Structure 1
Amino acid sequence: MTDDLERLANGVLWPGFLGTEAPQWLRGELHDGLAGVVYFGQNVGDGLPALSAEILAANPDALIGIDEEGGSVTRLESATGSTVPGAAQLGLLDDSAATERTGAELARRVRAVGANVVLGPVADVNTDPRNPVIGVRAFGDDEALVSRHVIATIDGIQDAGVAACVKHFPGHGDTHMDSHHALPEITLDLEEFERVHLEPFRAAVDAGVDAVMTAHIVVPAWGPQPATLNPRVLGMLRDWGFDGVIITDALDMAAIRETVGLGGGAAAALAAGADLLCIGNPTNPGDAASADQDERDFHATRDGIVAALRDGSLSRARVEEAAARVAALAAKLRAAAEHHHDAHDDFDAAEIVRRTVTLAGAAPEAATELAVIDARRRSTLAVDSAGSYVANALADGGLRVRLDVASTSLAEQDRVVDEVAAAPGTTVVLIDRPDTDAAQRALVERTAARDPRAVVVNVGLPTRSALPLPTIEVAAASRLGAQTARDALLGRFAVQQRMTSAG
């Protein structure tokens, strides 16, 4: 039986869970006021609409969130790759109408499976090209451009009756560490940080965004705590007039779990001004995860809140305020669900992406088939797009070889290049970090020497310095991006030339 304080805590908790069916513990907590759930890739299957219906039957006010950004980050298409344009592609195109239509399409897809919160758009300004966790998830490195497209995406999502949640406040774009594994610190000049990185979040608040997700980053000028646990940082949003839901990034990320812990982090985040606590993906510990990791993480988080309420270090009024904001959003979404309209009928994802893909260097001869060397970096916890679907869509039945340039000798790399060059079709070197990974660039240079007719497909940020082979710039590790690059190399449409190498 859930006691009064546990029920109060339930109203601000947003767990992930294992499996494609709602476990018994989750259904019970939903009946006892649990705020909702977050879907991750392991929850997605053909039965997702039925799963959502089961969750909403247990709690009709449940918020069901999903990281559906398009481009390199998808949960709904995690097995096959996204078929929606990504943020960097939309930023390069800089067509606000196309971005708004993309937001509406994301909302339509999310609503079709019974969810009601899109954990996006990314409002980070990606000013550090080394950034391992944002990169092409951002619209770009200019705050005015990012602000434009954040507003357009919010309009598309929320006009379709789904909540948008901009992330990762106060801005994760100037980091070169991944907060899933460590606690990044922003050492940027504070005036510049406020002018550049806060601007898209201000724009989102002014546009009426429903929710804002915090980042586990430290800005030393604002204190030693990560933003998620920092009342000064979260207070800025309220000072700007934001009265929506402040959602934490996942509390199971190392930046929180390995410092203050799940329970301590949850209590501290609420005390700092957060309203809804995303507990995270129970598969993140990998092989160390228990069969009941989801339930363990949930109870560890709730126990921390209840203990803090009992000892007075967390005020009941603060948790009631947070729960009321969560409930207000749920009520708004229930009303919107009764009056929603579908995305624009004129949405053509393939046409949008064709307009964003460019060619740097001389035009190669049209290929008849492609043989792919996949030299991209490994997946991160946030971005699982290093999966095989990008290379598979590019090769489309042709030879495909995975090559980890970080751990493979040059002699072995050369052997692979020669093997692929001898295969039928045009050699394609698939990369994602040409400006920041010297080993990827070196592979391209050696491939150019051994197979001058080879080409490059770059699914990361467009390169700032020219490569020695013709390069198709895709700016998203998605199935749609790979299919578009393939069509370009096969001569199925005229890809536009990238005007300058600095782009």
Structure 2
Amino acid sequence: MADELTRLVNGVLWPGFLGSEMPAWLGTALDEGLAGVVYFAQNLVGETAALSADIHRRAPRALIGIDEEGGSVTRLETHTGSTVPGAAQLGVVDDVVATEATGYEVGRRVDAVGGDVVIGPVADVNTDPRNPVVGVRSFGASTDLVSRHTAAAVRGIQRTGLAACAKHYPGHGDTHTDSHHDLPTLTLSQHEIDAQHIPPFIAAVRAGVFSIMTAHISAPHWGDAPATLDPNVLGRLRRDGFDGVIITDALDMAAIREQVGIGGGAVRALAAGADLLCIGNPTNPGAAMLPDQDERDYLAARDAIIAAVSSGELSRARIEDAAHRVAAMADAVRQRSAVPAVSFDGDGIADRAVRVQGELPSFADAPTTVIDLRRASSLAVDSAASHVALALAAGGEIVRLDAISASREQITDAASRASAGQSLVLVDSVEADSPQRAVLDSIRSLSPAIAAVNVGLPAEAEGAVISSPAASMLAARAARRAMLSR
């Protein structure tokens, strides 16, 4: 039987776990007041609805969160690629009715497997095209555009009776470092942050969002601590009228783990004003993952908080306040019911998001050689991006090239293989100075008529380009339809 302090601390913890069944440690933690769990791809390979039902039977107030954004980020469709439009596609279409319908569809799918919290939408304004972790996960580079679509997505998700979680406060869009691997630093002034990046979160608050997730980013005028651990940054969110649950981004990300550790991050995040601590995906260490990595990470956070409260470093009242907010959100989700939504047409939205530049060659509905130049997925994009190439190839050959290290001989060989039949180049970063743009230009010097499909941020490029901005099955099918319609 857990003591009172352990139960209190458990009420602010949101761990991940290994496998598709409830491990023994998780069952015990749920018995002892754990706030809930976050599902990642490795948890969704069995009877997920039954797993969720078991968790809720064990702990009726437990909140099950899923990082389901649509587009390039999916947990529910990891093995096939998402069939829901992503934020960049919705931003290109710029139809808030379509965005609200998409939000509802995401919420409906999460609800169908027993989830309670959709960890989305992304409210970041992607003002740096080099951004390796946001990119097409954002509605766009315009503050007004992102604000209105963030609000629409929140409304759509929460019409299903679930809680939405707008992320990543105060805005992860003007960084060119992935916080999964290092601590990104903003070079913007506070005025620029306030004017460009805060408004979408205010829009989410006004739309009634239940929760907001923090960003592991820093700025020189904040000091050395990332926003997640900074009471001044999180305090701004409260001063702007948000009274819901502040959720941390994963504490096992390098921006926190390598700076202060999961335990240190947990204590400092709570002290800064966070309410619910997302501990993270225990598979992130890769080959270094231990068989009990999930329990170790959970205990690192729990035990550090208990020690901090016991020593007086962290006040018990702060934990009580956080746990109260989390419990109130859980009660609100339990008491809400879905309301009718507008109709959802994912293929129609994806087709409307496609843009064609230049004169496409004539394509037949036949196997297509795909030269894939895309970057490796970030840890945030836990989806089967390979299915984009498979869908475009339709049985044809897939040639993979690392645009950064490809030799002239490799480029020449790929172009030669492509020129033997119907072919295209698959890219997701074609701004003027990018490695992919350089390789694409080299291939076109050998095969001038070859078309490109860009599943990244729309950008001007020479020659024929089909833009379908998401690494998803839906976007790939829309791009192929555009190929065949010319």
* CA-to-aligned-CA distance 1:4-48 (integer Å, 9 cap, x gap): 211111000000000011101101111111000001111112411
Q: In terms of mean alpha carbon deviation, does 377-386 or 226-235 score higher?
A: 377-386
- Matched with 1:444 is 440
3-state SS, counterpart of residue 38 of structure 1: strand
* Equivalent pair of 1:154/1:164 in contact (CA under 8 Å): yes
> Sequence identity, in percent?
59
Unaligned runs of 5+ in 2: none
Aligned to 1:358: 355
Q: Is the 8 A contact 2:166 2:211 kept in 1?
A: yes
Q: Which residue of 1 aligns with 2:481?
A: 487
Alignment partner of 1:397 is 2:392: no
Partner SS, residue 349 of structure 2: helix
Q: State how far apart, in whole Å, the 1-side matches of 2:292 and 2:384 are.
A: 28
Give, in whole Å, the separation in 1 of the partners of 2:27 and 2:148: 40
Which amino acid in 2 is paired with 1:474?
S
Provide the secondary structure at the position in 2 that maps to 1:258: helix
CA deviation string 1:283-318 (max 9, x = no partner): 001100001000000001101100100000100000
Residue in 1 aligned with 2:381?
Answer: 383
1:436, CA displacement in angstroms?
6.3
- Match of residue 323 from structure 2: 323
Q: Give the equivalent residue in structure 2 for 1:21.
A: 21
Aligned pairs for 1:61-140 (under 5 A) are 61-140=61-140
> How does the TM-score come out when normalised to structure 1?
0.94
Corresponding residue of 1:411: 409
Q: 1:342 to 1:80 in 2, by over 3 A?
A: farther
**Which residue in 1 is equivalent to 2:419?**
421
| Residue of 470, 473, 476 corresponding to 1:476 | 470
C-alpha displacement at 1:409, in angstroms?
1.2
Cα distance between partner residues in 1 of 2:433 and 2:246: 35
Give the Cα–Cα distance (whole angstroms) in 2 for the partners of residues 211 and 8 of structure 1.
Answer: 20
In 2, are the aligned partners of 1:87 and 1:139 still within 8 Å (CA)?
Answer: yes
Query: 2-side partners of 1:327 and 1:436: how far apart?
Result: 49
Match for residue 461 of structure 2 among 460, 466, 487: 466
Residue 374 (structure 1) shift: 1.0
Higher mean C-alpha displacement, 358-367 vs 57-66: 358-367
Distance (whole Å) between structure 2 residues aligned to residue 374 and residue 49 of structure 1? 36
Deviations for 1:116-172, whole angstroms, at most 9, x for unmatched residues? Answer: 100000000000010000000000011011000000000000111010000000000
4+ residue runs over 6 A deviation: none
Between the aligned partners of 2:191 and 2:270, the Cα distance in structure 1 is 28
Q: Deviations over 1:408-447 (max 9, x none)?
A: 212112112211221x3x2110000111663211221122
Q: Could you report, residue by residue, the CA deviation over 1:474-503 in whole angstroms, capped at 9, with x for unpaired residues?
A: 111111100111111122xx6xxxxxxxxx
For structure 1, the 5+ residue unaligned runs are 495-503
**After the TM superposition, which residues 77-476 of structure 1 pair with which residues of structure 2 at under 5 Å, given as runs?**
77-336=77-336, 339-341=337-339, 343-344=341-342, 346-369=343-366, 370-385=368-383, 387-422=385-420, 424=421, 426-435=422-431, 438-463=434-459, 465-467=460-462, 469-476=463-470
Give the length in aligned residue pairs: 485
Query: What residue identity is the alignment partner of 2:458?
Result: P
Given that residues 379 and 386 in structure 1 are in contact (C-alpha distance below 8 angstroms), is that contact kept between their aligned partners in structure 2? no
Amino acid at match of 2:461: A
CA distance in 1 between counterparts of 2:394 and 2:64 reads 35
Q: Deviations over 1:251-280 (max 9, x none)?
A: 000011111111111011001100000000
Shift of 1:366: 3.3
What is the DSSP-based 3-state SS (H/G/I as helix, E as strand, rest coil) of the residue aligned with 1:260? helix
Paired AA for residue 10 in structure 1: N
Is the 8 Å Cα contact of residues 75 and 382 (structure 2) preserved in structure 1?
Answer: no
The answer as to whether partners of 2:165 and 2:209 remain within 8 angstroms in 1 is: yes
Any conservation in 2 of the 1:377–1:386 contact (CA below 8 Å)?
no
TM-score of the aligned structures, taking structure 2 as reference length: 0.98
1:2 Cα shift? 2.0
CA contact (8 A) 1:216 1:227 kept: yes
Residue type matched to 1:351 in 2?
Answer: G
1:327-364: CA deviation from partner (whole Å, max 9, x where unpaired): 0000001111xx324644x2110001101101011233
One-letter code aligned to 1:447:
I
